[in-house]
Amino acid sequence: MIEQILCPPIATAETFDDDRAAVLFPEEKAAVAGAVESRRREFSTGRACARAALSRLGKPPVPIPSGPRGAPQWPQGVTGSITHCPGYRGAAVAWTRDVVSLGLDAEPNEPLPDQGMLDIIATEPERVRLAGLAEANPRISWERLLFSAKESVYKTWFPLTGRWLDFESADIVIDPASGTFTAFLLVQGPAEGLVINGLPLDRLHGRWRADQGLLVTAIAVPA
């Protein structure tokens, strides 16, 4: 799925089941020490996907430990993102000379588990737009897609800034026809002085896909 929304020079790998043969490096085991078996499997399979994607860049298998807030720590000169949800694990990587930062997220194409979550993750303009999208195409859980897009925004934002980003700090406009979305960053302070490709970082552009009962979103900031 992700190769349809992330193209070369980005390398991707995905699976729809856990790799029970996946082995973690010692540096990675601390992240799931004491975790339940299902969490260990999804973590291990996600790391296996990441190493498979890295191999397509010509990189040998290396540890990908967890850093601040659980963010994967990539080899020098590489950026990437890992995601997992029920029935899916995936990873995307690229050389930083080609891509400044990557964000990837997958979710089941189902309503949010708690309807109260919508009030937490969505701004009022977003809720209005979601209602229109749901009326036009009820086969897609647009609220879950919004959540996924905001997760991709955060995964892209954090490596660039090292700062937290709240749900209400980005206003996302989803284009159902083109399979794209734009995130307008509403932050004050953290983005000041952050310039990417000669422009201030005030918005991020992403792509999304709905297929096989899943929703996948991704953002790539080109270098």
Helix then strand then coil, % of the chain, to nearest 5: 35, 30, 35
State mean pLDDT over 17-24. Answer: 90
Looking at per-residue pLDDT, the higher value among 116 and 140 belongs to 140
Identity (one letter) of the amino acid at 26? P
Fold type of domain 108-222: Ribosomal Protein L22; Chain A (3.90.470)
Beta bridge partners of 185: 170
Residue position matching structure tokens 């193209």: 7
pLDDT-based confidence at residue 164 (cuts at 50, 70, 90): confident
Q: Which pLDDT score is estimated for 191? A: 52
Neighbours of 17 (CB within 10 A): 10
Q: Reduce the DSSP state of residue 176 to 3 states and report it.
A: coil
Identify the DSSP state of 29.
Answer: H
> How far from the centroid of its chain's Cα atoms is residue 51's Cα?
17
Shared fold status for 2-104 and 108-222: yes
Q: Taking residues 17-40, what's their average pLDDT?
A: 91
Count CB-CB contacts under 10 A for residue 182.
Answer: 15
The per-residue pLDDT for range 81-116, each reduced to its tens digit, is 999 999 999 999 999 999 999 999 999 999 998 878
Task: Report the DSSP pairing between strands 199-200 and 180-185.
Answer: unpaired
* Of 208, 206, 87, 219, the residue nearest 142 (C-alpha): 208
**HEC letters along 190-222:** CCCCCEECCEECCEEEEEEEEECCEEEEEEEEE
Structure tokens at 158: 């954090």
What count of other Cβ atoms lies within 10 Å of the Cβ of residue 63?
14
- Render pLDDT for 178-212 as a digit per residue (tens, 0 to 9): 999 999 988 764 455 566 766 677 889 999 999 99
Q: What would the DSSP string read from start to end of 112-155? A: -SSTHHHHHH--HHHHHHHHHHHHH-TTS-HHHHHHHHHHHHHH
The rounded distance, in Å, linking the Cα atoms of 108 and 95 is 29
State yes or no: pLDDT of 158 exceeds 80. Answer: yes
- Rounded to two decimals, what is the model's pTM? 0.92
Residue 62 clears pLDDT 70, i.e. is over it: yes
CATH topology of domain 2-104: Ribosomal Protein L22; Chain A (3.90.470)
What whole-number distance in Å separates Cα of residue 197 and Cα of residue 96?
13
Find out whether the peptide bond into 9 is cis, omega within 30 degrees of 0: yes
Domain ranges of the chain: 2-104, 108-222
The residue-averaged pLDDT of 117-130 equals 94
